[in-house]
Structure 1
Amino acid sequence: MTNPSKAKGTAWESLLVAYLREHHNPASHRNVQMGAKDIGDIDGYYLHALEAKAEKTITLSDYIAQANREAVHAGQPFGCAVVKRRMKGVGDAYVVRDLATDVRLMNRLRDMEEALQATAPTVWARYDAQHREAA
Protein backbone atom coordinates (compact mmCIF):
# COMPACT_ATOMS: atom_id res chain seq x y z
CA MET A 1 0.00 0.00 0.00
CA THR A 2 1.36 3.42 -0.99
CA ASN A 3 1.79 6.20 1.56
CA PRO A 4 -0.56 8.99 0.32
CA SER A 5 1.63 11.79 1.74
CA LYS A 6 4.73 10.39 0.04
CA ALA A 7 2.83 10.02 -3.24
CA LYS A 8 1.64 13.64 -2.99
CA GLY A 9 5.21 14.81 -2.36
CA THR A 10 6.59 12.77 -5.25
CA ALA A 11 3.91 14.16 -7.59
CA TRP A 12 4.77 17.73 -6.51
CA GLU A 13 8.49 17.14 -7.06
CA SER A 14 7.77 15.74 -10.53
CA LEU A 15 5.67 18.80 -11.44
CA LEU A 16 8.43 21.11 -10.20
CA VAL A 17 11.06 19.28 -12.24
CA ALA A 18 8.90 19.55 -15.38
CA TYR A 19 8.42 23.27 -14.76
CA LEU A 20 12.13 23.88 -14.16
CA ARG A 21 13.08 21.88 -17.25
CA GLU A 22 10.78 24.02 -19.39
CA HIS A 23 11.51 27.44 -17.87
CA HIS A 24 14.95 27.29 -16.25
CA ASN A 25 17.26 24.29 -16.68
CA PRO A 26 16.57 21.30 -18.96
CA ALA A 27 18.90 19.17 -16.80
CA SER A 28 16.84 19.60 -13.60
CA HIS A 29 16.07 16.32 -11.85
CA ARG A 30 14.90 14.78 -8.59
CA ASN A 31 17.65 13.82 -6.17
CA VAL A 32 18.03 10.46 -4.48
CA GLN A 33 17.40 10.89 -0.75
CA MET A 34 20.63 10.79 1.27
CA GLY A 35 19.31 10.56 4.84
CA ALA A 36 21.21 12.75 7.31
CA LYS A 37 23.29 14.24 4.45
CA ASP A 38 20.32 14.99 2.18
CA ILE A 39 21.14 17.48 -0.61
CA GLY A 40 17.61 18.72 -1.34
CA ASP A 41 14.75 17.28 -3.33
CA ILE A 42 15.60 18.75 -6.73
CA ASP A 43 18.89 19.53 -8.45
CA GLY A 44 19.17 22.07 -11.24
CA TYR A 45 17.74 25.25 -9.66
CA TYR A 46 20.75 27.49 -10.21
CA LEU A 47 22.93 27.94 -7.10
CA HIS A 48 20.24 26.41 -4.84
CA ALA A 49 19.42 23.30 -2.89
CA LEU A 50 15.68 23.11 -3.44
CA GLU A 51 13.32 21.58 -0.92
CA ALA A 52 9.87 20.80 -2.37
CA LYS A 53 6.90 21.03 0.01
CA ALA A 54 3.25 20.14 -0.64
CA GLU A 55 1.66 19.96 2.78
CA LYS A 56 -1.67 21.06 4.19
CA THR A 57 0.00 22.73 7.18
CA ILE A 58 2.82 25.07 6.15
CA THR A 59 5.75 25.43 8.57
CA LEU A 60 8.10 27.92 6.94
CA SER A 61 10.72 27.91 9.69
CA ASP A 62 11.16 24.13 9.36
CA TYR A 63 11.33 24.34 5.58
CA ILE A 64 13.96 27.09 5.60
CA ALA A 65 16.11 25.36 8.22
CA GLN A 66 15.98 22.15 6.18
CA ALA A 67 16.78 23.95 2.90
CA ASN A 68 19.73 25.80 4.45
CA ARG A 69 21.12 22.60 5.99
CA GLU A 70 20.77 20.76 2.67
CA ALA A 71 22.44 23.61 0.77
CA VAL A 72 25.53 23.04 2.91
CA HIS A 73 25.42 19.30 2.18
CA ALA A 74 24.97 19.98 -1.55
CA GLY A 75 27.77 22.55 -1.70
CA GLN A 76 25.33 25.21 -2.91
CA PRO A 77 25.45 28.81 -1.67
CA PHE A 78 21.68 29.11 -1.23
CA GLY A 79 18.80 27.02 0.03
CA CYS A 80 15.11 27.54 -0.62
CA ALA A 81 11.81 25.79 -0.23
CA VAL A 82 9.24 25.73 -3.02
CA VAL A 83 5.86 25.48 -1.33
CA LYS A 84 2.78 24.39 -3.24
CA ARG A 85 -0.18 26.74 -3.09
CA ARG A 86 -3.45 24.94 -2.64
CA MET A 87 -5.63 24.91 -5.73
CA LYS A 88 -2.94 26.67 -7.82
CA GLY A 89 -0.53 25.66 -10.55
CA VAL A 90 3.20 25.15 -10.27
CA GLY A 91 4.08 28.68 -11.41
CA ASP A 92 2.05 30.07 -8.49
CA ALA A 93 4.09 28.21 -5.85
CA TYR A 94 5.94 30.16 -3.17
CA VAL A 95 9.74 30.25 -3.18
CA VAL A 96 10.80 30.79 0.43
CA ARG A 97 14.16 31.61 2.00
CA ASP A 98 15.20 33.57 5.05
CA LEU A 99 16.15 37.24 4.74
CA ALA A 100 19.85 36.60 5.36
CA THR A 101 19.93 34.16 2.43
CA ASP A 102 17.95 36.53 0.23
CA VAL A 103 20.29 39.44 1.01
CA ARG A 104 23.31 37.28 0.09
CA LEU A 105 21.56 36.34 -3.17
CA MET A 106 20.66 39.97 -3.99
CA ASN A 107 24.21 41.12 -3.18
CA ARG A 108 25.59 38.50 -5.55
CA LEU A 109 23.12 39.49 -8.27
CA ARG A 110 23.96 43.19 -7.81
CA ASP A 111 27.71 42.54 -7.91
CA MET A 112 27.47 40.39 -11.04
CA GLU A 113 25.19 42.88 -12.80
CA GLU A 114 27.56 45.74 -11.99
CA ALA A 115 30.52 43.71 -13.26
CA LEU A 116 28.72 42.82 -16.49
CA GLN A 117 27.54 46.39 -17.00
CA ALA A 118 31.11 47.68 -16.52
CA THR A 119 32.75 45.14 -18.84
CA ALA A 120 30.05 44.53 -21.46
CA PRO A 121 27.39 47.26 -21.32
CA THR A 122 25.67 46.18 -24.54
CA VAL A 123 25.31 42.61 -23.33
CA TRP A 124 24.05 43.88 -19.96
CA ALA A 125 21.46 46.11 -21.68
CA ARG A 126 20.18 43.20 -23.78
CA TYR A 127 19.77 40.94 -20.74
CA ASP A 128 18.24 43.76 -18.71
CA ALA A 129 15.61 44.40 -21.40
CA GLN A 130 14.92 40.67 -21.81
CA HIS A 131 14.32 40.12 -18.10
CA ARG A 132 12.27 43.28 -17.63
CA GLU A 133 9.92 42.03 -20.36
CA ALA A 134 9.59 38.67 -18.63
CA ALA A 135 8.19 40.30 -15.47
Structure 2
Amino acid sequence: MANPNKAKGTQWESDVRNYLNDTAGLVDECGRFLDPFDPYNVRRPAQEGSADVGDVHAVPFVLECKNVKSPAVPTFLRQAEVEAVHAGFPYGVAVVKVPRQSVRRGRVHVGVRTWTRVRLALGLASREFANRYGFTPSLRGRDTGKWYMTTDLEAFGVLLTDVRAARE
Protein backbone atom coordinates (compact mmCIF):
# COMPACT_ATOMS: atom_id res chain seq x y z
CA MET A 1 0.00 0.00 0.00
CA ALA A 2 1.54 3.30 -1.07
CA ASN A 3 -0.20 5.50 1.50
CA PRO A 4 1.16 4.79 5.02
CA ASN A 5 -1.83 6.45 6.74
CA LYS A 6 -4.24 4.22 4.80
CA ALA A 7 -2.16 1.21 5.79
CA LYS A 8 -2.40 2.21 9.47
CA GLY A 9 -6.16 2.62 9.17
CA THR A 10 -6.60 -0.72 7.44
CA GLN A 11 -4.44 -2.41 10.09
CA TRP A 12 -6.57 -0.87 12.87
CA GLU A 13 -9.79 -2.07 11.21
CA SER A 14 -8.33 -5.58 10.95
CA ASP A 15 -7.12 -5.50 14.56
CA VAL A 16 -10.60 -4.48 15.80
CA ARG A 17 -12.28 -7.19 13.69
CA ASN A 18 -9.84 -9.86 14.86
CA TYR A 19 -10.13 -8.85 18.51
CA LEU A 20 -13.94 -8.97 18.51
CA ASN A 21 -14.04 -12.31 16.66
CA ASP A 22 -11.50 -13.78 19.07
CA THR A 23 -13.17 -12.56 22.27
CA ALA A 24 -16.60 -13.72 21.02
CA GLY A 25 -15.18 -17.20 20.35
CA LEU A 26 -16.05 -17.03 16.64
CA VAL A 27 -12.61 -18.13 15.39
CA ASP A 28 -10.22 -20.98 16.04
CA GLU A 29 -6.64 -20.59 17.31
CA CYS A 30 -5.51 -19.78 13.73
CA GLY A 31 -8.09 -17.03 13.33
CA ARG A 32 -10.36 -18.99 10.96
CA PHE A 33 -14.13 -18.72 11.42
CA LEU A 34 -15.61 -21.70 13.23
CA ASP A 35 -18.72 -21.27 11.08
CA PRO A 36 -18.09 -19.11 8.00
CA PHE A 37 -21.85 -18.65 7.56
CA ASP A 38 -22.55 -17.39 11.10
CA PRO A 39 -24.20 -13.96 10.71
CA TYR A 40 -22.52 -12.85 13.95
CA ASN A 41 -19.01 -13.14 12.51
CA VAL A 42 -17.38 -9.71 12.65
CA ARG A 43 -16.33 -8.66 9.15
CA ARG A 44 -14.70 -5.86 7.17
CA PRO A 45 -17.07 -5.31 4.27
CA ALA A 46 -15.95 -4.40 0.77
CA GLN A 47 -16.74 -0.78 0.00
CA GLU A 48 -19.22 -0.32 -2.80
CA GLY A 49 -19.97 2.96 -4.54
CA SER A 50 -20.79 6.25 -2.86
CA ALA A 51 -22.87 4.84 0.01
CA ASP A 52 -20.13 3.81 2.45
CA VAL A 53 -21.27 1.02 4.78
CA GLY A 54 -18.65 1.43 7.53
CA ASP A 55 -15.32 -0.17 8.31
CA VAL A 56 -16.36 -3.15 10.43
CA HIS A 57 -19.71 -4.92 10.78
CA ALA A 58 -20.42 -6.46 14.18
CA VAL A 59 -24.15 -7.18 13.99
CA PRO A 60 -26.06 -5.05 15.03
CA PHE A 61 -23.31 -2.40 15.05
CA VAL A 62 -21.39 -0.65 12.29
CA LEU A 63 -17.97 0.41 13.55
CA GLU A 64 -16.18 3.40 12.06
CA CYS A 65 -12.54 2.72 12.96
CA LYS A 66 -10.06 5.59 13.21
CA ASN A 67 -6.32 5.63 13.79
CA VAL A 68 -5.61 9.37 13.94
CA LYS A 69 -3.57 11.77 16.07
CA SER A 70 -6.41 14.23 16.71
CA PRO A 71 -9.80 12.50 17.02
CA ALA A 72 -12.88 14.46 15.95
CA VAL A 73 -15.33 12.20 17.77
CA PRO A 74 -18.63 14.01 16.97
CA THR A 75 -17.72 13.94 13.27
CA PHE A 76 -16.77 10.25 13.48
CA LEU A 77 -20.08 9.46 15.18
CA ARG A 78 -22.13 11.27 12.54
CA GLN A 79 -20.23 9.30 9.90
CA ALA A 80 -20.82 5.99 11.73
CA GLU A 81 -24.54 6.66 12.09
CA VAL A 82 -24.94 7.49 8.38
CA GLU A 83 -22.97 4.39 7.41
CA ALA A 84 -25.11 2.22 9.72
CA VAL A 85 -28.19 3.40 7.81
CA HIS A 86 -26.48 2.60 4.49
CA ALA A 87 -25.62 -0.89 5.77
CA GLY A 88 -29.10 -1.48 7.24
CA PHE A 89 -27.84 -1.74 10.82
CA PRO A 90 -29.51 -0.04 13.79
CA TYR A 91 -26.37 1.28 15.53
CA GLY A 92 -23.24 3.14 14.45
CA VAL A 93 -20.25 3.73 16.75
CA ALA A 94 -16.70 5.06 16.38
CA VAL A 95 -13.65 3.08 17.52
CA VAL A 96 -10.49 5.16 17.94
CA LYS A 97 -7.02 3.70 18.47
CA VAL A 98 -5.16 4.77 21.58
CA PRO A 99 -1.46 5.26 20.78
CA ARG A 100 0.90 2.68 22.28
CA GLN A 101 -1.98 0.65 23.80
CA SER A 102 -3.31 -2.79 22.97
CA VAL A 103 -6.38 -3.11 20.74
CA ARG A 104 -8.60 -3.88 23.74
CA ARG A 105 -7.89 -0.38 25.05
CA GLY A 106 -9.22 1.27 21.89
CA ARG A 107 -11.85 3.88 22.72
CA VAL A 108 -15.42 3.12 21.62
CA HIS A 109 -17.52 6.26 21.33
CA VAL A 110 -21.30 6.08 21.18
CA GLY A 111 -23.63 9.00 20.51
CA VAL A 112 -26.10 9.69 23.31
CA ARG A 113 -29.12 8.78 21.18
CA THR A 114 -27.57 5.48 20.11
CA TRP A 115 -26.41 4.80 23.69
CA THR A 116 -29.99 5.33 24.90
CA ARG A 117 -31.46 3.06 22.23
CA VAL A 118 -29.00 0.26 23.10
CA ARG A 119 -29.64 0.75 26.82
CA LEU A 120 -33.41 0.53 26.33
CA ALA A 121 -33.02 -2.57 24.15
CA LEU A 122 -31.25 -4.22 27.09
CA GLY A 123 -33.84 -2.91 29.57
CA LEU A 124 -31.25 -1.24 31.81
CA ALA A 125 -31.37 1.98 33.80
CA SER A 126 -28.84 4.64 32.77
CA ARG A 127 -26.52 4.27 35.75
CA GLU A 128 -26.64 0.46 35.62
CA PHE A 129 -25.84 0.48 31.90
CA ALA A 130 -22.98 2.96 32.32
CA ASN A 131 -21.47 1.04 35.23
CA ARG A 132 -21.84 -2.41 33.67
CA TYR A 133 -20.02 -1.43 30.47
CA GLY A 134 -17.66 1.24 31.84
CA PHE A 135 -19.15 4.19 29.98
CA THR A 136 -18.09 7.72 30.82
CA PRO A 137 -19.83 10.82 29.42
CA SER A 138 -18.35 13.55 27.29
CA LEU A 139 -20.73 16.48 27.38
CA ARG A 140 -19.45 19.16 25.03
CA GLY A 141 -21.26 22.43 25.63
CA ARG A 142 -24.98 22.88 25.12
CA ASP A 143 -25.12 21.22 21.71
CA THR A 144 -26.36 17.72 22.56
CA GLY A 145 -25.35 16.60 19.07
CA LYS A 146 -21.75 16.70 20.30
CA TRP A 147 -22.41 14.65 23.45
CA TYR A 148 -21.27 11.05 23.55
CA MET A 149 -20.42 8.16 25.84
CA THR A 150 -17.09 6.32 25.82
CA THR A 151 -15.87 2.89 26.87
CA ASP A 152 -13.05 0.64 25.70
CA LEU A 153 -13.13 -2.16 23.15
CA GLU A 154 -12.87 -4.82 25.86
CA ALA A 155 -16.09 -3.61 27.53
CA PHE A 156 -17.72 -3.10 24.13
CA GLY A 157 -17.07 -6.77 23.35
CA VAL A 158 -19.10 -7.70 26.43
CA LEU A 159 -21.83 -5.26 25.42
CA LEU A 160 -21.89 -6.74 21.91
CA THR A 161 -22.39 -10.24 23.32
CA ASP A 162 -25.20 -9.01 25.61
CA VAL A 163 -26.98 -7.11 22.82
CA ARG A 164 -26.82 -10.16 20.57
CA ALA A 165 -28.20 -12.40 23.33
CA ALA A 166 -31.08 -9.97 23.95
CA ARG A 167 -32.00 -10.02 20.24
CA GLU A 168 -32.39 -13.81 20.16
Give the TM-score normalised by the residue count of structure 1.
0.76
Tell me the percent identity. 38
Q: Does 1:22 align with 2:36?
A: no
Q: 1:94 aligns with which of 93, 107, 120?
A: 107
Query: Aligned-pair distance for 1:35?
Result: 4.0
The 1-side partners of 2:50 and 2:75 are apart by 15
- What is the Cα-based RMSD across aligned positions, in Å? 1.7
- The 5 Å alignment of 1:37-116 reads 37-43=51-57, 45-110=58-123
SS for the counterpart of 2:123 is helix
> Which one has a bigger Cα radius of gyration?
1
Q: 1:25 to 1:104 in 2, by over 3 A?
A: farther
CA distance in 2, matches of 1:36, 1:62: 18
Unaligned runs of 5+ in 2: 27-40, 125-161, 163-168
Three-state SS of the structure 2 residue aligned to 1:91 is helix
Choose from 35, 45, 66 the match for 1:31.
45
Q: Any runs of at least 4 consecutive aligned residues in structure 1 with deviations exceeding 6 A, and if so which?
A: none
Return 16-25 or 84-93, whichever deviates more: 16-25
Distance in structure 2 (CA, Å) of the matches to 1:91 and 1:5: 21
Deviations 1:75-119, CA, capped at 9 Å, x for gaps: 1111001110111111001111110110011000117xxxxxxxx
Structure 1 Cα separation of the partners of residues 89 and 102 of structure 2: 27
C-alpha distance in 2 between matches for 1:35 and 1:102: 29
User: Aligned partner of 1:36: which letter?
Assistant: S
- Give the distance between the partners of 2:79 and 2:56, measured in 1 at CA: 13
Distance apart, 1:46 and its partner CA = 2.9
CA distance in 2, matches of 1:103, 1:7: 34
